[in-house]
Structure 1
Amino acid sequence: METLFNKRLQVYVKCKDCEERKANIRVNIDLLVTSNPVYKRDLVVRLTDDVDPYFLYSLSISEEDYQSLKVQQGLLIDFASFPQKFIDLLHLCLAEQEKESPRFLLHLACQSSLHDSAAHFSVVETNAFKHLNHLSLKLLQGSDKEVKDYLATCLSSLKEDKQSLEIKLKKTEEDLSRQLAYAQQTLAEKTKELDKLRSEWTSQTTSLSSRHSQDLMSEREKALEIQGRLQQQTEQIRQELEGSHQRSSQQLQSRLAELEASTRELTERRYKNESALRDLMIKLASAEEESQRAKQQVTSLRRENGTLDTELHDKERSLGQLQTRLAVLEQEVKDKEQLMGRTREVLEATQQQKETMEGNVESKDHQIKKLESTVRSLSEEQKKANGIIKKLQADGRMLAEKIKVKNSVTVSQEKVVQDTAEKLHTARRLLQDAKQQLTHKDEQVSKLKEQLETTIEKLNESKEVLKTNENVIGWLNKQLNEKQLLRKPPAPESFQTPAAQSTTAGPRAQFYPMAPKPTFSHADTPDFLPPDQRTLPPPHKLVESGGLDAKYFERREDSIPLYGLLTNLQSRELPPRPSKQTLPSAYFSA
């Protein structure tokens, strides 16, 4: 059995004895395939309710039953595509059920009560005119055996889910208990280490305080020598930083000029490519128009060639008719010539018999005149026929020459059409190459723009670093000048705090006396903000903490905060953060 659809849908349930109501009913569609003894497919539709376990309506549709359903409801699809179309309708209903006025609805109409008899399950489409019933299925209420089987399957699935959840719960309990034991063990170890470190720290602080009081006088004498060295070192560092900054700025400016030149060249190439592309498009359009005209001329010439062929056939037919008529006239002329010969013979005979036949001379002369007139008319007709024949022969030659010229013109035009087609193909290929080159150039331009942005960002960062270095150098010079002026012996109380806390601060903590450090609140210097958003503490606090004048810590628009000094100062002076509140566990008490 293959499950095709299993979801909860909103169905309008209407019974005969109660009012219409909405209910969330689970629609399950399965395809049951049996091959023993005969291959058979059945579509099983089942309606259940997750709240009411006794709610069960089912219907099994075989291929024979579907044929009758198809005839009754006027369906246009076969049984193979019916399940998918039915599922598509259910998906439409699922998509429309959250709207105020859904277009597709599901109706379940019972004849009497909800758990009796049969029910009609239908898919209805609503519009402004009427309700269209796309499909209506008659479902039967599940019998006691079917309900028991359904409840047994539900119970078995619930038991399987329960077993899997119990296994997961055991695994999580074991993991959590293992983690808890490991955490308790590490906590005990860390507490031991903390006690040990505290004892070591107290011993070290006492020894350092005694040693510091002894070494303080010797260190004061060394401070003057170190002060001169520091001035020389700071001057050298400043000169080196200025030189490196100038070199880096020159390199970046040259790189920027090169990038700008390359971007200009690329933009010019892009414009040239675009103009060439437009020219190619214009040439392509003109070539297409010329090819269209050539095709039209070829079709017209072929049409004229056909008409000339028909005219040639007509002329040849008329020529044949005239040739036959000419043959007839020649035959008549031959007959007339034979008649003339005979008359001549008769004339000779009459001339020989002239003397004897003088009485018949006039009649014979009259007949001779008639014959001569007929001979003249026949000769004239023969001349006319010869002229017509010559004219027809000349027309035939002219038509043959015209046909030859037309054929040569058509052949040349077909060659022109082929040439234009080849030119069109080459132009299209060139257009594609130009487009590819244009896309490649656009990608190069975008990459160069990104490189330019990164170089500008690096330039800005180098400027900011230079400003911070200048501020640090000024602050160090000011501190050194103040230390030279302030040579009074400090009170012993002012050295106890740095001696107790500067176990890893370096030589500076031992050289100079410092006032007690005030504690800053989290509102003054929050350590969870990034360095560019941290605000400096008030000037009087900085004067108290570092011994500097307040004017060197005033916030200016063109200045950059001293990240390294202030963050180190604040990290030492801020109180420890409160630990995060742990959430109570569901399995262990707090």
Structure 2
Amino acid sequence: MEQLFSKALSVSVRCRDSEERKSTIRVTIDLQLSPSAVHKRNLHVRLTDDKDPYFLFTLSISEEDFQSLKAQQGLLIDFGSFPQKFIELLELCHSEQEAESPRFLLQLCSQGPTPEGPSSLSVVETNAFKHLNHLSLRLSPGSDREVKDYLASCLARLKEEREALELRLKRTEEDLSRQLSCTQQTLCEKSKELEKLRSEWTSQTSSLSSRYSDELQSEREKALELQRRLQEQADQLRQELESAHRSSSQQLRSRVGELEVSCRELTERKYKNESAIRDLRMKLVAAEEEGQRSKQQVLSLRRDNSLLDSQVHEKERALSQLQMRAAVLEQEIKDKELLMSRTKDVLEATQQQKVSLEENAVGKDAQIKKLEATVKSLSEELLKANNIIQKLQTEVKSLVGKIKVKNTVTVSQEKVLQETTEKLQSAEKELHSSRQQLGTKEQQMCALKEQLESTVQKLNESREVLKTNENVISWLNKQLNERQMTRATAPEPAAAAAAATSGAKSPLYPLGRATLPPVGGALSSPADLRPTTQLDVAALDSKYFERVDSIPIYGLTSHLPKEIPRPAKASLPSAYFSA
């Protein structure tokens, strides 16, 4: 902390609902160097009263705060020269505070009835026209902690001053005691010398008084003789001067008579000259009246002349304008004739072009319809891209506004700008790549749709095959049940036991084998059915027993079996279904 200024100045204090008063306030300006990179220097302004220790107003101005202060109050200096200029203004106030009408004043204005709330310190220059406010600083009252710190610093300073004064007092006491002892010694010596001198002086004065008394008597006698001589000389001089005065007075009287005669002659001449001057004045008045009349006539003639000249000039101007207009109109007529001939040629050429363009327009309408379809699809993508670009542009605009406001941080904002441009470029690249990905995804979607259609067809075919298989199985079960019923009506001992055991195990899928009729034939009688140990399935077509590997279908895997039968192959006609 470096102290730049500290003086007690006369300040006029203004509060609300109270009269203006003057008080002596100490203004202290300190410059603090901070280690941070953003705020390198801070200026501290402090107002205190030596009589009132609780009176404290403070203000801290950083470089950023000074920029806003400079913009608000129109200052023309930088932060580096601001403290010196502020101190110069305070010095001017200090130099003129004892004058009756000071030119520079310090004013402390508060909005409250007492100067306890936020106040403004102003440096005002007064002149005959108005009050000029050079600088106004907004000061805040010290908090309890600041007042305590200030009082503690004052107390520490007073203690230091008291200790320094005690040291000085001790030193002065020691010096004075030394000087006292020295002076006492010298006093004793000097008193002895004084006694010696007094004895010598008394002896010398007695000898000198006896010697100079004789000399005084002789000198008094000489002085009396000189007085007599001087008196005689003065009498002679007085007689000579009286005679000279008489002669000069006679000469002056004769001169006065001559001057009176000349004075009378001059008065007569004066009267004659005054009468001649009166006559000349009368003539001059008459001549002045004639001159004024002639001047008025000259002025009226000049006015008439100027009016006539202006009329002549106006007419000449009108004539020249009419001539110019006639020449311009003739030129315009010639130009229009040339334009007419050119427009005719252009009309013929345009008619020919119109015919050819109408032919081209028919072909291009078809192309435009195709292009409009593509443009619609592209416009949707472009709208998305434009939204992204607009967002980035708004970010760039906000960054540019911040750059204009914060001139001190231009380097960092340039980096941000570069980053935003890089982001823009990367966004454009991403847009391009997303468009390409969109195209590939659309192709994949088309391929997947084709696969879906094919799988749905296969599914429908497999369902039809399943239905036919179920029909066949139900028919076979029916035939087997009928056979069992017939065998139950005419049982053989061994066959009955086998049928009873087989029927007890499974009524739908018996273990006995029934011989199916040959291809193209039909069941004629129950005797055609032969009991066997296995089901004879040779008569069924092989398409009902073929299976293929499964094809996965999106969204249907949970409802379909793992294996879907292939579509039926071309084979011989079945005996159970019409071809």
| Pairwise TM-score range, normalised by the shorter structure | 0.3 to 0.5
Q: So what's the TM-score if we normalise by structure 1?
A: 0.34
Question: For the pair shown, which has the larger CA radius of gyration, 1 or 2?
Answer: 2
More RCO (CA 8 Å, sep 6+): 1
Q: So what's the TM-score if we normalise by structure 2?
A: 0.35
